[in-house]
Structures are given as structure tokens and as C-alpha cells.
Amino acid sequence: MLAEVDRFNKWLRRRSPRATTPIHYTNDLKLFFTWAARGPAEITVRSVDAFIEHCQSLGHSVATVNRRLASIRSFYRFLELDGDEPPSNPVLPKRHFIRQGRRLPRDVEDADLKRLFGVVDSPRDRAIYMLMLRCGLRVSEVHNLSLGDLYLNPSAASLPRLWIQGKNDTQRVAYLSRQAYVALSAWLAVRPNVDGSAVFLNRFGNRLHANGIQVLLGRYCRRAGVWITCHQLRHTFARHLVEAGVPVTSIQKLLGHVRLRTTQTYLHISDGAVQADYEAAMREIEAQFLGAGGER
């Protein structure tokens, strides 16, 4: 690893000790400088142009390319703070970042959820994926969950809840449904009694890593004959709330979104009013069509 990248990684970890950003940004920078085969001071605007073309030739998504560009840009902004004569930032937003239209969240069909949970036989893993599905937790939030974050025996007027360390070190409360509570309690009953505060442990008794959670889900998906990502479980949590008629402002708080606009995208994947309008219109249109001699 380049010395500058190592310093950048340590700086990110000091600023956000529990965030996964240092891992992702460092991996992006390793990939970029390995491809470029030159140091930070030798990177130019045209180097970034060529890197974008390289990523696109490999079929990388727009979101992936833009994240890598954000990693590089953040790295050079760090160099401005770290040195007396830093190199110019080669990432120019108006030139390099790729425009992408609004993409709707991809949720999971309920039938596929039943197939997935039908093969998740480990109490630990069932608790992990149930917290994603019923509480909307991100994979990093499951990874960060500690025993001190659990509030499982509240007063009669309150629900069991979790204190969640979200993105950018923001906190929120996640309430536990009956299914989530039962799954989490089943894991805690058999969790090894080892030193450390992590709720979810690997086979060595250490905190289970986010990558491990994703790899495990992939194995269960292959057994179930479906393909589901961790974040799709969070999307499905939001879709279920929309379908249950929960106000969008409450959904925003439960998901930990800073901007209401982010939450509103979920309204488009299950908009009851639009569905009802469409169904009523089609009944009228098709009735007129059949009345005019159209085929059934």
C-alpha cells in the first residue's frame, strides 16, 4: 500500500471509527493505483478519463464507477490537508462523474423471502437477516451492533429496541417486531460467552465482519435457489411499511434517512393510489374495447 493511502486510511478511521468507509475507499484506491502503476503526483485528469473507460470496459455499474471517483477525489482532498505542496486533484466532478437517472430500490418478492428463510437454519444467521428484514438494518449496522445497544426488556408501554450506529456516525432507534425479537433472543440464548461486546460473532469468537455476513447470505441464496442481497432486505422492510400505510416521515426515521426525498423513492415501488387509478382506468378502457368487438 502506498504510504499516502495508508495515512488516508488512518485519518478516515480516526474521524469515523465505526464506519465502513475506510475499507471501501482504501480498496478503491488500491485498485486505482495498481491499475495506474504510478504515484499520486503523476496522476492527471486524463489518467482519470482512462480509468473510467477501463471500468466501463469491464462492465462496472455507474454507481461503482462514481464511488471509485469519490474515493479518489476524497484522497486528493486529504493530501491538501496533509502536505505543504499537494498534487492537484485530478477528479473534476463536471467532467468525470457519470450521470445516472433515478433508480428505484429493488425489493424482494415475499415468495423468495419464504424460500430464503426456509434454509437459514443457524440461529445467529436467522437473527442477522431478520434484523435486516424487520428493522431495516444495513449490513454495517449489524456488524457494529453491540450488547450495550440492546434494550430488550422495556416497560409495558414500550417496544424492545436497538440503538443503531448508522451512516456518518448518526444514531437512531430501531424497534423490534415479534419475529425480530424471537430470532434475536434465540441467538442470544446460544451465543458463546466470550469477552467482547459484539452481538454477532464469527467462529473465532470475534465480531462478525460485514463481508462475512454478505458471503453467508450468498451461500443461503444458492441453497434456496434465489438471489437476494443484504440491502434488498432493507428495501423490502421499507416496502412492507409503505404497504401497511405507515406515514413516510415515520419510515424516514425508521430507515435513518437524512433527506425525506430519499425515503419517498420507496413510495414509487408500492403506490396504492397509482395502482388503484390504473386498475380502474383499465377496467373502463377494456370494457369499451370489448364492447367495440375486441377480443377477450
CA distance 167 to 18: 9
227 in helix, strand or coil? coil
Query: What value, to the nearest 5°, has the Cα angle with vertex 63 and ends 240 and 4?
Result: 125
Residue 61 bridge partners (DSSP) = none
Nearest one of 216, 212, 240, 239 to 228, comparing CA atoms: 216
246 in helix, strand or coil? coil
CA distance 181 to 154: 12
DSSP string, 159-193: --EEEEE-GGG-EEEEEPPHHHHHHHHHHHHHS--
Q: Which amino acid is residue 259, in one-letter code?
A: R
CA Rg, the chain, in Å?
23
Catalytic residues: 138, 167, 231, 234, 257, 266
Instruction: Give Cα separations from 116 to 49, 108, 184, 258, 287 (angstroms).
Output: 42, 11, 18, 31, 41
Nearest one of 102, 133, 122, 120 to 269, comparing CA atoms: 102
b/e map of 82-98 (b: 16 or more CB within 10 Å)?
Answer: eeeebbebbbeeeebbe
202 in helix, strand or coil? coil
